Amino acid sequence: MKEDIKKGNRTKIRIAASADLHITTSDAGKWKECFSAISEQADVLVLCGDMTNSGSVREAAVLGEELQCLRIPVIGVLGNHDHAMGRPDLVAGTLRQAGLRILEGDCVVMQGIGFAGVKGFGGGFGRYSLAPFGETATRTFAEEALIQTRLLDEALGRLEAADSLAPKVALTHYAPVQDTVTGEPEPLYPFLGSSRLADPMIRHRVAVAFHGHAHSGSLEGQLAGVRVFNVARDVLSRAGYRRGFFLYEV
């Protein structure tokens, strides 16, 4: 039995986090050893998008089968690759049938920790954030970040209403802060995340935030006291995490 780690009168929960697995149909059998090891080291696994490589249901089914060796809960959000074939509902449904809790603007409490998640979207950071103004195509792009932000805000609000003292964890695929996309070419920043996503994280005082998507970005950033981690597998690999999973205690 795993040893409890106490924080005051509350047991600490070990979260394993990763993103951008990009599972293909040829990956059957390749992940079971890794997921088995995670079960020994963590209490919850979170996957921050791009779980499939091309957004196919077959790829989602392969991941679902690989996840069967897990002995801990797994929570995830979809990424842009999971939308690539225009069938995100089927991808999410396949993963849910395998036991993965997909968050799309909703929330869940596991082991005393509240998790809220959305895919998120691009639009840029700070003073360079794209505004929903001008041509229809530009407004549509900018408004998607606003929609995703509202969904995250509402999910975090529901967690806070249920238990204002319980730690909250935010999951997105796109980055909420520029710090963790640093290392990517600057012209790509508007397509890697949006600082609008940061507003609800700050307002609801999340304990930690995880995202992916920026493969050449940086591991850690700060958001008004909130620690933000880019857990894209390429980022974790460069940081020395050989199995491609980041461990964090809340």
pLDDT in tens, the chain (250 residues): 233 333 334 578 999 999 999 999 999 999 988 999 999 999 999 999 999 999 999 999 999 999 999 999 999 999 999 999 999 999 999 999 999 999 999 999 998 999 999 999 999 999 999 999 899 999 999 999 999 999 999 999 999 999 888 999 999 999 999 999 999 999 999 999 999 999 999 999 999 999 999 999 999 999 998 999 999 999 999 999 978 899 999 9
pLDDT for the residue numbered 51: 98
DSSP string spanning 73-85?
-EEEE--TGGGTT
- How far is CA 93 from each of CA 58, 96, 101, rounded to the nearest angstrom? 12, 5, 10
Tell me how far apart the alpha carbons of residues 197 and 184 are, in angstroms, rounded to a whole number: 19
Tell me how far apart the alpha carbons of residues 241 and 152 are, in angstroms, rounded to a whole number: 29
Amino acid at 82: D
- Out of 3.30.70.270, 3.40.50.2300, 3.60.21.10, 3.40.50.620, the CATH code matching 13-249 is 3.60.21.10
pLDDT for the residue numbered 10: 53
